[in-house]
Amino acid sequence: MDIRTLVLGRSPRRRLKLAVASITVTASIAFTTTTASGAPTTIDDANAAAPLGNVVPAPVSVQPAADVRFYLKSDSAIYATGGAATDVANLLAGLLRTPTGYGLPLKPLSPSTDVRGIALMLGGADASTGAEGYQLKVTGTAVTIRANQRQGLINGVATLRQLLPAKVDSQNAVAGPWPVQGGQILDYPRYAYRGALLDVARHFFPVSTVKRYIDDLARYKINYLNLHLIDDQGWRIQIGSWPNLTEIGGSTGVGGMMGGYYTMADYKAIVAYAAQRGITVIPEVEGPAHEHAALASYAELNCDGVAKELYVGYTVSPDGILCIRKAVTYTFLDQVIGQLAAATPGPYIAVGGDETQGIPQADLQYYYSRVTAIVAKYGKKVLGWQESLGGLAPAGATATVWMPGLSDDLVVTAANAGAKIIMAPAPHAYLDMKYDPETPSFPVGNSWAGFIDVQTAYDWRPEAMVAGVPPSAIGGVAAPLWTETAFALDHLENLAFPRLPAIAEVGWSPAATHNWDSFKVRLAAQGPRLRAARVGYYLHPTLQWPWGS
Ligand code: TNX
């Protein structure tokens, strides 16, 4: 597919669509006071309980009880059955104390407890909830979230936050009331892998920015974060036995800007912060391409024994390929992967493997067999990009498709032989693409995979991306945020929101609930929440954003 034709061919139609949409939005602001979903459009509505189903991603099943209301009050408590439930209760209390100004003490929960507030119960949930699902029940006196595993309680908490009025995201104490609509929700994910990727290599971002992005992701039940720690333009993780990687390789970034790196302690802090919020960090060690920063840091890693100049270009370095047949390459990878594996409780190490076109297949196979053995030695599983499927043993491998059409034969063969496939198709899921030619404004945003408006981010089916991949081989979806053109938190958030929630819904919600007309109303209702939380987002003109957005 010629990507340039696609982009140029779409733009006149898109302009027309945007023009029509902005007329509709203007009209709705002037004349409408309620939307079909009941999303708040006036100041008074913003204090109301959200309709029970007004959640992103859409839950599996919602049964509202029209006349029932729960109110969180100053004397409410948060109850938990101990252990992991108490950890999650702590997380919830931390989220609710600031906006409500209430004490919300934590109390133990037993079958005889008279609950006046919110109860988190581990165990006894419907079997359909699986490892990550939950049941949420709202009566006049209690909100009860029940799950069989910790992850399910965390997901239930993410839902409850969206059922409280939007002001629950305020950064300071605000007046109640704090109603929640009565009824029941039963919910669990369609796919076990709902990933995001943050590129901290092209431009380095401080720990505080990564934590903030983790907070943003957790709202939408994202459960994996691929931290892209290494690329041509920068090496971002301190490796004890190889200090030049960060001293030299971490000193710069795209355009020579925003160098920096994480110490192992920083990395562990990020991993722990994410884990508390239900997100498993996957460290990514690129290779054999995209390794220019390492080759600039150590002469001996180069085939000719000469260290390269640092690379600060925008695209992939043509010289960033590891010396595949040199023994020291694998001593190096063993130590890097070993140290990262020791600091990573999650099951995956991402081994990169993209943009290896031009490297002989035999070399690629040799490289992947060595790297796979190293990852396995440290007790982890490999996650690669689609090109790596030519070299990875399919059983036990997981690979991400970023460009349907690029290597479909490899993907189909591997998927049929047991590999798990994650779908992150660039024309739908690459958050670094612009929304339209002017948004975000220059210099932020790419367009090589097309412009991605909110509907394009939402309207795609993982099972239809690569013909011949059995639906059972699809492990999930991912939303990468590459940062060649993004270098501030504000850039990251305005690219990710509101498209990331769209991709999160594709990954979480049953295919049967997929409906743009319903989604766009639920998504727009996130506006006042993101605004209150001071999360940057693009007020995309095709959505009818309610009051407070
Ligand atoms: C392609 S996707 C890349 C990245 C770039 C991205 C920019 C992939 C596996 N490779 O290295 O950052 O495009 O959109």
Domain segments of the chain as ranges: 61-187, 194-425+460-483
The model's confidence at residue 404, banded by pLDDT at 50, 70 and 90, is: very high
Residue 354 Cβ contacting ligand 1 at under 6 Å: yes
CA distances in angstroms from 344 to 261, 511, 543, listed in the order given: 17, 33, 40
The reported pLDDT for the residue numbered 143 is 98
The reported pLDDT for the residue numbered 44 is 59
| One-letter identity of residue 351 | V
Nearby residues of 399 by Cβ (< 8 Å), 6 or more positions away: 353, 383, 384, 385, 386, 388, 389, 392, 411, 414, 419, 420, 421, 422
Sign of the C-alpha dihedral computed for residues 80, 85, 87 and 89 taken in this order:
negative
CA–CA separation, 189 vs 193, rounded Å?
A: 9
The residue whose two tokens read 């000193």 is 251
CA distances in angstroms from 211 to 172, 215, 271, 511, listed in the order given: 20, 6, 9, 31
- pLDDT(340) > 70: yes
Atom index in ligand 1 nearest the CA of residue 449 equals 14
The alpha-carbon radius of gyration of the chain (Å, integer) is 24
The reported pLDDT for the residue numbered 43 is 59
Pocket residue to mutate for ligand 1, from 198, 282, 317, 354, most atoms within 8 A of Cβ: 354
**Structural contact between residues 281 and 274, judged by C-beta atoms closer than 8 angstroms:** yes
The reported pLDDT for the residue numbered 332 is 98
The reported pLDDT for the residue numbered 9 is 33
The model's confidence at residue 394, banded by pLDDT at 50, 70 and 90, is: confident
CA–CA separation, 142 vs 150, rounded Å?
A: 20
- The pair phi, psi for residue 431, each rounded to 5°, is -70, -10
Using CA atoms in the order 385, 389, 390, 393, what is the torsion angle rounded to 10 degrees? Answer: 140
Identify the three-state secondary structure at position 402: coil
The reported pLDDT for the residue numbered 114 is 95
User: Lowest-confidence range among 323-327, 406-410, 426-430?
Assistant: 406-410
The reported pLDDT for the residue numbered 49 is 81
The pLDDT of 126-155, averaged and rounded, is 98
Beta bridge partners of 479: 196
- pLDDT(304) > 50: yes
CATH of domain 61-187: 3.30.379.10
Atom index in ligand 1 nearest the CA of residue 231 equals 11
Identical fold between 61-187 and 194-425+460-483: no
The reported pLDDT for the residue numbered 42 is 60
Q: Which fold has domain 194-425+460-483?
A: TIM Barrel (3.20.20)
The model's confidence at residue 370, banded by pLDDT at 50, 70 and 90, is: very high
The pLDDT of 145-166, averaged and rounded, is 98
User: How many Å lie between the centroid of ligand 1 and the Cα of residue 354?
Assistant: 8
CA–CA separation, 89 vs 105, rounded Å?
A: 10
User: How many Å lie between the centroid of ligand 1 and the Cα of residue 157?
Assistant: 33
Q: Whose CA is nearest to atom 12 of ligand 1?
A: 482
Read off the pLDDT of residues 27-61 as tens digits, 9 standing for 90 and up.
333 333 344 444 555 655 667 788 999 999 999 99
User: How many Å lie between the centroid of ligand 1 and the Cα of residue 9?
Assistant: 23
Strand order in the sheet with 61-71: 61-71, 179-187, 134-138, 142-147, 117-122, 77-80, 106-108
User: How many Å lie between the centroid of ligand 1 and the Cα of residue 313?
Assistant: 14
Q: Which of 132, 286, 291, 355 is catalytic?
A: 355
User: How many Å lie between the centroid of ligand 1 and the Cα of residue 373?
Assistant: 26
Q: Whose CA is nearest to atom 2 of ligand 1?
A: 402
Residue 132 Cβ contacting ligand 1 at under 6 Å: no
Atom index in ligand 1 nearest the CA of residue 403 equals 2
Residue 284 Cβ contacting ligand 1 at under 6 Å: no
The model's confidence at residue 200, banded by pLDDT at 50, 70 and 90, is: very high
Which among 370, 324, 320, 335 has a CA at the least distance from the CA of 243?
A: 335
Read off the pLDDT of residues 61-97 as tens digits, 9 standing for 90 and up.
999 999 999 999 999 999 999 999 999 999 999 999 9
- Give me the chain's average pLDDT, please: 92
355 is catalytic: yes
Atom index in ligand 1 nearest the CA of residue 385 equals 9
The model's confidence at residue 482, banded by pLDDT at 50, 70 and 90, is: very high
Residue 482 Cβ contacting ligand 1 at under 6 Å: yes
The model's confidence at residue 17, banded by pLDDT at 50, 70 and 90, is: very low
**Structural contact between residues 384 and 399, judged by C-beta atoms closer than 8 angstroms:** yes
Atom index in ligand 1 nearest the CA of residue 424 equals 2
**Structural contact between residues 455 and 542, judged by C-beta atoms closer than 8 angstroms:** yes
Read off the pLDDT of residues 492-541 as tens digits, 9 standing for 90 and up.
999 999 999 999 999 999 999 999 999 999 999 999 999 999 999 999 99
